[in-house]
Structure 1
Amino acid sequence: MTTALEDLSIYLRETHGDAILGVSTAFGELTINVSPENYVPVLKFLRDDPRCRFLNFIDTCGVDYPEREKRFDVVTHLLSVHKNMRIRVKVQVGEDDVLESATGLFLGADWFEREAYDMYGILFSGHPDLRRILTDYGFEGFPLRKDFPMTGFVEVRYDDMVKRVVYEPVQLRQEMRSFDFLSPWEGTDYVLPGDEKKSQ
């Protein structure tokens, strides 16, 4: 841990000891774990405090751990240009929990929170326009959850006969193929197309 990151982690524990559940460092970035009720207050402190000045919002994303009781991590990345440091703020939330939106502090959080809602179903209270952003109208489920089927439930196509978009159950049209994993230097046990001419 660099001296600057170590000083920052000590400072954050001194000022927000109860709010910070854990601190770690990896790849030159400090990660702090906070409780959901302290998420926005800690972000506000990181933005406004003169020793922090994390003014640049980088992104917010979700991570799915279906085996945990609090299934999701909401991960927010901030940058302090003044201090030349990055910080990662993690919050654990359950499937039905609602996390306070960071859009009141960082306008750039808007679309990232919408994406976390669209892909994982993570809910944000106080968001100005929490609706799907990447999937189609009427899409069911959350595609980045680990229990979401790999093929999805339905496929969408434009039907020229009825002149509209239609939803149909997923059909796997690809035939099962057998792949040959033998080394090309050892050769195959069968004749490849075109090699039959070699024996003539």
Structure 2
Amino acid sequence: MAVLHSAPKFTLIGGLKDKLSGALGDILLEAREEHGELLLTVQRDRIEDALRLLRDDHGYQQLMEIAGADYPSRAERFEVVYMLLSLTENSRIMVKLTASETTTVPTVTTLWPNAGWLEREVFDMFGVVFAGNADLRRILTDYGFEGHPFRKDFPLTGYVELRYSEEEQRVVYEPVELAQDLRSFDFMSPWEGADYVLPGDEKADVPPVDEAKTTDSPKETGAGPKADEKADEKVSAGAPAEENSGKDRTPAPEPTEDRAERPERKGDTKDTASATQPKKKD
């Protein structure tokens, strides 16, 4: 069931796919809709022309993000995805291209200045080279980092690790050394149990019960008339509070205001009611 909202995240524009497909012409390789958004695949060498046309002629003013994806089994393993936003139409579209480790992607810093930072991030994480970017340096990893962490063939532990050396008074790079051996995990069902004995489980190795004990008569359970009579007795029987209830109690004192020996109040006020009344002005 679709939920209507007064302020949707983006607007679904009817006929947008056909409109932009016709505008891009031979630059476009594929157009399809995914998750309510339009996805356009364009030629890698024409990415700057495609984005300029979408920005100037169709109102997609903002470049929100440039993301990368890695598919090692493909000939061109990388996908570079440009996410555009139209403020006037409240519409979002995605434009993507494919690249390999040896091919370069034209920069779009000529269209949006923030593309410089976004292209540096894709270069750092995936190794995609953007031709024309005047400052294509690493942005998230260290300057001497080797490899690209988001590639699916990159080891999770990395190739080298860095630490500060007190002897050399500087940061040094060393091969990765794990502090402990990686544990071996078995992926069997937790309800089936392991085939081996875990440490500590040998203490619980007790012989199984041959025959479960059952109670065939009330004598074995302790139930009967005697147990019922004992249950009717009061638990507090014989307690001091039970036996001396209402006896040897000190009577409560009389109210203070009714005592005759109470000394007379000092001052003009004799009773409480008049003391609370405001004084009358002359």
1:189/1:182 Cα in 2 relative to 1: closer, same or farther (>3 Å)? Answer: farther
Shift of residue 3, structure 1, vs aligned partner: 9.2
Corresponding residue pairs, total: 190
Identical residues among aligned pairs (%): 45
Q: Does 1:11 align with 2:19?
A: yes
1:120/1:177 Cα in 2 relative to 1: closer, same or farther (>3 Å)? Answer: closer
Partner of 1:47: 55
Which stretches of structure 1, 4 residues or longer, exceed 3 Å deviation after superposition?
2-6, 175-183, 188-192
More deviation, 19-28/73-82: 19-28
Larger RCO, structures 1/2 (Cα 8 Å, 6+ apart):
1
Looking at secondary structure, tell me which structure has more strand per residue.
1
Partner of 1:198: none
1:41/1:191 Cα in 2 relative to 1: closer, same or farther (>3 Å)? Answer: same
Shift of residue 118, structure 1, vs aligned partner: 0.9
The whole-number CA distance in structure 1 between the counterparts of 2:190 and 2:59 is 57
Tell me the amino acid that sits aligned with residue 161 of structure 1: E
- In the alignment, which of 86, 93, 96 is matched to residue 90 of structure 1? 96
More deviation, 89-98/168-177: 168-177
1:24/1:173 Cα in 2 relative to 1: closer, same or farther (>3 Å)? Answer: same
- In the alignment, which of 167, 184, 193 is matched to residue 161 of structure 1? 167
Tell me the amino acid that sits aligned with residue 103 of structure 1: T
- In the alignment, which of 67, 72, 79 is matched to residue 78 of structure 2? 72
The whole-number CA distance in structure 1 between the counterparts of 2:198 and 2:118 is 53
The whole-number CA distance in structure 1 between the counterparts of 2:190 and 2:198 is 9
Shift of residue 6, structure 1, vs aligned partner: 4.2
1:96/1:29 Cα in 2 relative to 1: closer, same or farther (>3 Å)? Answer: same
Contact 2:75-2:100 at 8 Å conserved across structures: yes
The whole-number CA distance in structure 2 between the counterparts of 1:155 and 1:101 is 32
Equivalent residue of 1:95, what SS? coil
Cα deviation, 1:179-199, whole Å, max 9, x if unaligned, reads 79746xxxx98758xx9xxxx
TM-score of the superposed pair, with normalisation by structure 1:
0.85
The whole-number CA distance in structure 1 between the counterparts of 2:143 and 2:164 is 14
Partner of 2:45: 37
The whole-number CA distance in structure 2 between the counterparts of 1:141 and 1:190 is 41
Contact 2:44-2:97 at 8 Å conserved across structures: yes
The gaps in structure 2 that reach 5 residues or longer are: 1-9, 192-196, 205-282
The residue correspondences of 1:118-133 to structure 2 (distance < 5 A) are 118-133=124-139
Q: Does 1:60 align with 2:66?
A: yes
The whole-number CA distance in structure 2 between the counterparts of 1:89 and 1:174 is 45
The whole-number CA distance in structure 2 between the counterparts of 1:69 and 1:13 is 26
1:157/1:110 Cα in 2 relative to 1: closer, same or farther (>3 Å)? Answer: same
Partner of 2:231: none
Computed over aligned residues only, the root mean square deviation of the Cα atoms, in angstroms, reads 2.6
The whole-number CA distance in structure 1 between the counterparts of 2:146 and 2:73 is 22
Partner of 1:28: 36
Tell me the amino acid that sits aligned with residue 118 of structure 1: D
1:122/1:161 Cα in 2 relative to 1: closer, same or farther (>3 Å)? Answer: same
Shift of residue 21, structure 1, vs aligned partner: 0.6
The gaps in structure 1 that reach 5 residues or longer are: 196-200
Shift of residue 17, structure 1, vs aligned partner: 2.2
Equivalent residue of 1:21, what SS? strand
Shift of residue 176, structure 1, vs aligned partner: 3.9
Shift of residue 162, structure 1, vs aligned partner: 1.6
Equivalent residue of 1:155, what SS? strand
TM-score of the superposed pair, with normalisation by structure 2:
0.61
Tell me the amino acid that sits aligned with residue 51 of structure 2: L
